[in-house]
Amino acid sequence: MVRRTVFRGGRVFDGSTTSEVDVAVEGDRIIGVGSGLDGDEAVDCTGMSVLPGLFDCHVHVMARDLDVSRTELEPFSLHYYEALRNLSLLLDQGITSARDAAGADAGVKRAIEQNIIEGPRLQIALVMLSQTGGHGDLHLLSGGSRSMAMMLPNPGRPRSVRDGPDDVRRGVREILRAGADAIKVATTGGVMSPGDDPRHAHFRDEELAVIAAEAAAAGTYFFAHAQGTEGIKAALRHGARSIEHGYHLDDEAIDLLLQKKAWLVPTLSATQAIVDAADRGVPIPDESLELAREALEAHRASFARAVDAGVSVAMGTDSPPYGHPGASNLDELLLMTKASSMTPEHAWRTATANAAELLGQRELGVFAPGKIADLVVIDGQLDDLNGLRDRVRHVVLGGRRVR
């Protein structure tokens, strides 16, 4: 007989609103949400909040931090072991679903699915497509190249620097063949990559059209690392499902996000983390630090305007490299409410129902009978977004209590 567990006495956020009800779980499914539910076992949630398992739509589980000078000297295989720890840290925080935005390969995902290692449900991009001189191009002016292990091409991660429609087409097909769930593209430069500028647009229309067509033909989507205005708009015109970062949104970019029903994954944690890391003494190159400081205010202002305009937002952090030791992915919720008119309840939606919709996970992110039983129990009220990491009391993944 399958045991029925009832989470009783807590405030329940079902993905859209909060009420005082019980949640019943049987096997790997939610079987009831309502008052006075019966079960073989009850979990007392008095004084706590019960939510669907949380999402982080932008992680890099194969990386540790922003200290490139150190990570370049480490053995290639070390980043697979970093992933073990990072995946476990995500579960500690109640994050039961994540999208890895470059780094994790099909083996990492399969190891989780086969219960060889523990971790959240993972959607993977493998690599980030970049043009020559783009955000993912590791070339250095010295003639050498950066050798960050999580970005090196290998049998699990096809070469990601591509130019021209034919090369880009082959690239997307190789990435899909290697097991990617979605295609990540850098349509602008970035802050932490030497030699490119986050304000410059990367890839031309004919290349983006090929990426969009190949992703659609394979039944999936592409999403864009996009910081400067023109690269954001180009990605949206070609049907990017989400814009990651979005530092410089003008009115037209916001209109395009709305018209195209695209998502914004702001990753406010990321710009903040670069500045914080430098303050802590992490050797961040001067030009990167300058770009991050410049971007910080524009990023927050763009995000605030997007929220006011009603753009759909899903939570993502760019962690762990863009985090600090002891930081929580859930700090992003606090950053989002501080930077905009977003309410705490809206912030929780970005990490549950919204994120599930962005990632096409219809059975996750909400509580309703028949949905998959991923849930998290957090001490205290959900209006309070402080210190969330230390308030996680229970984490349930597919009906199994994992924390």
Residue 380: CB minimum distance to Zn ion, A: 30
Comparison of 80 and 223: residue with beta carbon closer to Zn ion:
223
Residue 220: CB minimum distance to Zn ion, A: 19
Binding site for Zn ion (CB under 5 A): 101, 318
Comparison of 318 and 332: residue with beta carbon closer to Zn ion:
318
The one catalytic residue in 14, 105, 184, 233 is 184
Token reading at 26: 């049987």
Comparison of 50 and 87: residue with beta carbon closer to Zn ion:
87
The one catalytic residue in 22, 137, 276, 318 is 318
Comparison of 49 and 131: residue with beta carbon closer to Zn ion:
131
Catalytic site residue 163?
Answer: no
Comparison of 23 and 62: residue with beta carbon closer to Zn ion:
62
- How far CA 241 is from CA of 72, 128, 144, 177, 244, in Å, comes to 32, 15, 35, 21, 10
Comparison of 125 and 392: residue with beta carbon closer to Zn ion:
125
Residue 60: CB minimum distance to Zn ion, A: 6
Residue 150: CB minimum distance to Zn ion, A: 11
Residue 372: CB minimum distance to Zn ion, A: 27
Contacts of 326 (CB under 8 A, 6+ apart): none
Token reading at 373: 């039983």
Catalytic site residue 184?
Answer: yes
Catalytic residue numbers, as ranges: 184, 318
